[in-house]
Structure 1
Amino acid sequence: MISEKMLELGKKRSQIREIFEYGRKRAGEIGADKVFDFSIGNPNVPAPAFIRETITDLVNNEDPVKIHGYTSAQGDFGVRKIL
């Protein structure tokens, strides 16, 4: 059985979806080349070269578990230490 609270949450549109739809609407109005949509992970511009190079380096040289594995509930210790 689903709780009433969760049922109500499922009936509402998320804000991120609203922003995505707004971006699509604006692209139709003023042209897709004038709208930079970063709303739900579908960018319409390529990542900068340094980002692509860094990702390639990580994939080729880092431990796959370190890259793709889950952290503890408290977060990554190295990151917490730096912060």
Structure 2
Amino acid sequence: MSIERAAMRGRLAEAKDRQQRLMLRIEGHCGAIRSGLNTALTPVADLEIPRLATFMDDLVQHWGELQAVRGEIARLEKELF
């Protein structure tokens, strides 16, 4: 049983690391989107909408991955504690 718990603790640590990396990526995408859409800094005619749309697509993907990882963390924590 202790081998199983150790394996679950390892998976929990990996999931928490993945969560942290995803949160940093999401934060970066949000910053890029926010500054890219700031019309006080960039005239509307010069906005790079296709590039920003790519950031938004990545943001949606990473947000979905984050939700899955958060669910995995909750399940592992419930089992361990």
Normalised-by-shorter TM-score class: 0.3 to 0.5
Which structure's CA Rg is the greater one?
1
Structure number with the higher helix fraction is 2
Tell me the TM-score normalized by structure 2.
Answer: 0.33
Structure showing greater relative contact order (alpha-carbon pairs closer than 8 Å, 6 or more residues apart): 2
